[in-house]
Amino acid sequence: MAEGMRTATLPNVFSSIRVIFREAGRNIDEICSNSRLGIPRRSRSGTKRALTTEEVEALIVRCEQRGEVGLSLLIKLSRHLGLRRKEALMCAPDLPMWRAAIVRGDYSLPTLRGTKNGRLRAIEIMEGERDQTLSAIDEALEYARENKFKFISGGQDNLKSAIGRMAYLLSSIGMRGEVSFHALRYSYAQTKAMEMLNAGLSPDETLVRVSESLGHGPSRIPMILSVYCQPLKAYFKGKLKPKKGEAHNRQPTKKIPRASLRIQVKAQHAQASGFPVGRIQPVHL
């Protein structure tokens, strides 16, 4: 921290170190936990807020006025699916698969490209916005097919350059601070949570499923409530079960090992989407 490393980065660094030691046959989780090392917990309280429909529409218009259609499509996709910035930027090859899933009546969409630690997750569709989600995917797919399956390109033909270009464009249209691109995930989380509650789901189950759709485990529901769904706290007050409740006992998605299972998951995703995942090519039967 004295050297300027961010609070959010430190836990990730030491988590990676602990994983390396475990794979080498030595478990240092207890003696080198974040709390024992004095690493402060990251606080996200008040850093972002959900964007209103009017704000999202205004941002889309701003993009289109600047000729940045690709960025406007990423904003639409993330609003309906709660994608992270990198996930949205890399999702083009999965669009045909997602479209087929929605038309088929599936309630969730698999995503792997750009996810944290390469973990596969299922994003639950907002049933009340199924048609709008399909429309956003159709628009994005048409654009992707006409632009070599790229929404944004940087000065160099690589992902790092595209991410840099996207960051610049987002700042130029005012998507920074509490209304950054990540704020679209807040909009998705709150809309999906209210949809589930109105459908009769328990508060616990609602938070678990929203957490999983965002790419977090069932154990993260306190964070989901205090950060992403903070304006909805009144709907959950006094209604959450103790930690040993049924929703909390659900086994989180197992972390994908760095060897055979991870390769297997990538191969399955490549096969389902019809596009490579990293160096893994789909098998054409």
Identify whether residues 122 and 241 lie together within a single domain: yes
Q: Considering the entire predicted model, what is its pTM? A: 0.83
Percent pLDDT > 90 in the chain is 65
67 and 122, same domain (yes or no): yes
Could you tell me the CA-to-CA distances from 66 to 31, 59, 96, 156, 188 in Å, in that order? 53, 11, 27, 21, 26
One domain, residues 90 and 231: yes
First CA to last CA distance, the chain: 53
Is pLDDT of 46 > 80?
Answer: no
Q: Report whether pLDDT(8) > 80.
A: no
pLDDT score of 62: 97
The pLDDT assigned to 214 comes to 97
Region 99-106 average pLDDT: 97
Q: What is the pLDDT of residue 20?
A: 85
**pLDDT at site 245:** 46
Tens of pLDDT, residue by residue over 211-229, are 999 999 888 899 999 999 9
- pLDDT tens figures, 173-185: 999 999 999 999 9
C-alpha to C-alpha distance for 285 and 280, rounded to whole angstroms? 15
Supply the DSSP symbol for 159.
H
Is the pLDDT assigned to residue 96 strictly greater than 50? yes
Helix and strand tally (H, E) in the chain? 13, 2
| pLDDT class of 166 with cuts at 50, 70, 90 | very high
pLDDT top residue among 195 and 278 = 195
Query: pLDDT for 241-277, tens place per residue?
Result: 766 544 455 554 555 555 677 788 889 999 999 998 8
Average pLDDT over residues 83-105: 97
13 and 55, same domain (yes or no) = no
- Whether residues 5 and 58 fall in one domain: no
What is the average per-residue pLDDT within 55-83? Answer: 97
Tens of pLDDT, residue by residue over 188-216, are 999 999 999 999 999 999 999 999 999 99
Q: Is residue 33 part of a domain?
A: yes
pLDDT digits (tens, 9 = 90+) for 124-150: 999 999 999 999 999 999 999 999 999
pLDDT at residue number 47: 80
96 and 16 within one domain: no
Q: In the predicted model, what is the mean pLDDT of residues 151-173?
A: 95
pLDDT at position 241 is: 77
Which residue range is the domain that position 2 belongs to?
1-42
User: Is residue 277 domain-resident?
Assistant: no
Tally the domains of the chain.
Answer: 2
* Alpha carbon distance 146, 174 (integer Å): 27
Of all residues in the chain, what percent are helix, strand and coil, respectively (each to 5)?
55, 5, 40
Q: Domain for residue 283, yes or no?
A: no
Residues 174 and 89 both lie in one domain: yes
pLDDT value of position 279: 85
Pair (109, 65) in one structural domain: yes
**Whole-number Å distance between alpha carbons of 69 and 113:** 21
Residue the block writes with tokens 């999702």 = 91
121 lies in the same domain as 1: no
What is the chain's mean pLDDT, rounded?
88
pLDDT, residue 262, reads 79
Examine residue 279 and state whether it is found in any structural domain, yes or no: no
Residue 191 resides in a domain: yes
**CB 120 within 8 Å of CB 111:** yes
- pLDDT computed for residue 250 by the predictor: 56
